[in-house]
């Protein structure tokens, strides 16, 4: 059976590829923990100077798999630790990327980035998008608020009002609009080979003196990181679960699956 996450390290660049192309690389608990585990391992691997994340097929990550075709693996945390660490994989992904790993992390948005997939992309330090990439917030569509650090990383990247508009308007935007908003730093042209440019930029980052790169990430990250990031991420998870378990959350999912307009009642 093919791994859900492919890991390849060449010339100090480690590439993580979400490998569920038949499901648009939607996240299961197993895949999410594989990402966290790989990033934590890379953070302590002297042979890895830069990490790059992308997806197989025509999608980066379509969000949480609401109907996974494989049995999710339990959290690697012990039962006792799960009581203490109630962030789950949703909160641990941005913590691993932005706090636990001080090495530059590049996201290559090769296709759709939706919901939790968008949160994964925005947690990265830098982003390159293919001309065919698409972005959708996802969360309000199912009657809840963002998690995965998106209420922190998105306003940091594009500003408060632009973030509010994007999260609540619930529309799909293309790569060029994402570039204009500041969600990505570069969009490859239609005639360009996205994979080639993505890897070339990763190799370019890997040529930077590693001490300089790591110190820079720590110092720049300190400016935009909330004083108690874990508490913020915990509030995100609780709020998202509250929205999903509400009557409006159930109505949002019903309407989305039946392609009808939802009728919300505020409860």
pLDDT at 246 over 60: yes
Beta bridge partners of 108: 128
5-63 pLDDT tens trace: 999 999 999 999 999 999 999 999 999 999 999 999 999 999 999 999 999 999 999 99
Q: Does some domain include residue 63?
A: yes
**Contact predicate 212/188, CB 8 Å:** no
Average pLDDT over residues 230-255: 90
Q: Does some domain include residue 258?
A: no
Q: Does some domain include residue 267?
A: no
Biggest distance spanned by C-alpha atoms of the chain: 56
Q: Does some domain include residue 69?
A: yes
Q: Does some domain include residue 20?
A: yes
What is the pLDDT at residue 85? Answer: 52
178/261 Cα distance (integer angstroms): 27
Of 60, 172, 160, 177, which Cα lies nearest the Cα of 117?
60
Tell me which H or E stretch contains 65: none
Give 251 or 40, the one with higher predicted confidence.
40
What is the pLDDT at residue 254? Answer: 87
Q: How confident is the model at residue 172 (pLDDT cuts 50, 70, 90)?
A: very high
146/138 Cα distance (integer angstroms): 8
Q: How far is CA 201 from CA 41, 52, 153, 206, in A?
A: 22, 10, 22, 9
Total domains, the chain: 1
Cα angle: 65, vertex 128, 69; to 5 degrees: 15
Q: Does some domain include residue 253?
A: no
What CATH number should be reported for the domain holding residue 71?
3.90.226.10
pLDDT at 163 over 70: yes
Q: Is the pTM of this model over 0.85?
A: yes
Q: Does some domain include residue 229?
A: no
Q: Does some domain include residue 176?
A: yes
Structural domain range at position 165: 5-191
């Amino acid at each position: 059976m093919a791994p859900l996450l492919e890991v390849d390290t060449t010339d100090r660049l480690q590439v993580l590829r979400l490998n569920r192309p038949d499901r648009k690389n939607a996240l299961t608990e197993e895949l999410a923990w594989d990402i966290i585990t790989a990033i934590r391992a890379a953070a302590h691997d002297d042979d890895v100077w830069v990490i790059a994340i992308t997806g197989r097929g025509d999608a980066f990550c379509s969000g949480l798999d609401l109907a996974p075709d494989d049995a999710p693996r339990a959290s690697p945390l012990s039962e006792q630790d799960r009581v203490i660490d109630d962030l789950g994989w949703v909160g641990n992904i941005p913590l691993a990327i932005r706090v636990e790993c001080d090495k530059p992390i590049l996201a290559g948005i090769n296709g759709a980035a939706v919901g939790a997939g968008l949160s994964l992309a925005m947690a990265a330090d830098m982003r390159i998008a293919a001309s065919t990439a698409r972005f959708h917030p996802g969360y309000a569509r199912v009657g809840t608020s963002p998690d995965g650090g998106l209420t922190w990383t998105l306003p940091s990247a594009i500003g408060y009002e632009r973030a509010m508009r994007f999260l609540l308007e619930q529309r799909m935007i293309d790569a060029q609009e994402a570039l204009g908003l500041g969600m990505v730093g570069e969009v490859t042209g239609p005639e360009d080979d996205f994979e080639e440019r993505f890897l070339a930029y990763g190799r370019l980052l890997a040529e930077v003196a590693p001490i300089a790169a790591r110190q820079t990430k720590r110092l720049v990250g300190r400016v935009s990181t909330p004083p108690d990031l874990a508490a913020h991420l915990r509030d995100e998870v609780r709020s998202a679960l509250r929205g999903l378990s509400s009557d409006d959350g159930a109505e949002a999912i019903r309407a989305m699956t039946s392609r009808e307009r939802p009728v919300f009642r505020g409860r």
